[in-house]
Amino acid sequence: MPDLNLTLELAFLYDLQQIDAEILTRHKRLKLIPNDIQKLREDFRVHEQKLNALKDQLSQAEKEQRFRSAEIETLDEQRKKYQAQLTAVKTNSEMKALYSQLEFLDQQEEKIEDQILELMFIVDDLGGEVKKEHEILSTKNVDRKAEEAELQTIAQDIKADISEIQEKRQNLIQKVNPDLFEQYQSRVATQHTNLVTPVVGNSCGYCKLTIPPQMLNEVKQARKKIACPSCKLILFELLNLEQTDDATGE
Instruction: List, for residues 210-245, the tens digit of each pLDDT value.
Output: 999 999 999 999 999 999 999 999 999 987 644 444
Indicate whether 122 and 211 sit together in one domain.
no
Per-residue confidence at 248, pLDDT binned at 50, 70, 90?
very low
Q: Which domain holds residue 87?
A: 16-173
* Per-residue pLDDT tens over the stretch 173-198: 999 999 999 999 999 999 889 999 99
Segment 142-147 shows an average pLDDT of 96
Q: CA-to-CA distance for 199 and 10, rounded, in angstroms?
A: 12
Indicate whether 223 and 137 sit together in one domain.
no
Indicate whether 24 and 121 sit together in one domain.
yes
Q: CA-to-CA distance for 51 and 141, rounded, in angstroms?
A: 13
Indicate whether 165 and 182 sit together in one domain.
no
Q: Which residues pair with 200 in a beta bridge?
A: 203
Segment 152-166 shows an average pLDDT of 97
CB atoms within 10 A of CB 226: 19
For position 245, what pLDDT does the model report? 46
Q: CA-to-CA distance for 68 and 61, rounded, in angstroms?
A: 11
Domain boundary among 114, 147, 173: 173
Task: Say which amino acid occupies 2.
Answer: P
pTM of the model: 0.70
Task: Say which amino acid occupies 191.
Answer: Q
Maximum pairwise Cα distance, the chain: 137
Indicate whether 43 and 161 sit together in one domain.
yes
Q: What is the β-pairing status of strands 196-200 and 226-227?
A: unpaired
Indicate whether 147 and 163 sit together in one domain.
yes
Q: Which residues pair with 236 in a beta bridge?
A: 198
Q: CA-to-CA distance for 106 and 122, rounded, in angstroms?
A: 24
Contact 171, 3 (CB under 8 A): no
Task: Report long-range pairs for 146-151 (Cβ below 8 Å, ≥24 apart).
Answer: 147/40, 148/37, 148/40, 151/33, 151/36, 151/37, 151/40
Indicate whether 115 and 144 sit together in one domain.
yes
CATH of residue 87: 1.10.287.1490
Indicate whether 143 and 199 sit together in one domain.
no
* Per-residue pLDDT tens over the stretch 103-121: 999 999 999 999 999 999 9
Domain boundary among 133, 155, 173: 173
Tally helices (H) and strands (E) across the chain: 5, 4
For position 109, what pLDDT does the model report? 95
Indicate whether 101 and 112 sit together in one domain.
yes
Indicate whether 162 and 39 sit together in one domain.
yes
Indicate whether 101 and 56 sit together in one domain.
yes
Q: How many residues does the chain have?
A: 250
For position 239, what pLDDT does the model report? 79
Indicate whether 59 and 183 sit together in one domain.
no
* Per-residue pLDDT tens over the stretch 10-51: 999 999 999 999 999 999 999 999 999 999 999 999 999 999
For position 90, what pLDDT does the model report? 86
Task: Give the total number of structural domains in the chain.
Answer: 2
For position 213, what pLDDT does the model report? 95
SS3 string, 175-193, reads CCCHHHHHHHHHHHHHHCC
Domain boundary among 173, 201, 225: 173
* Per-residue pLDDT tens over the stretch 79-95: 999 999 988 888 999 99
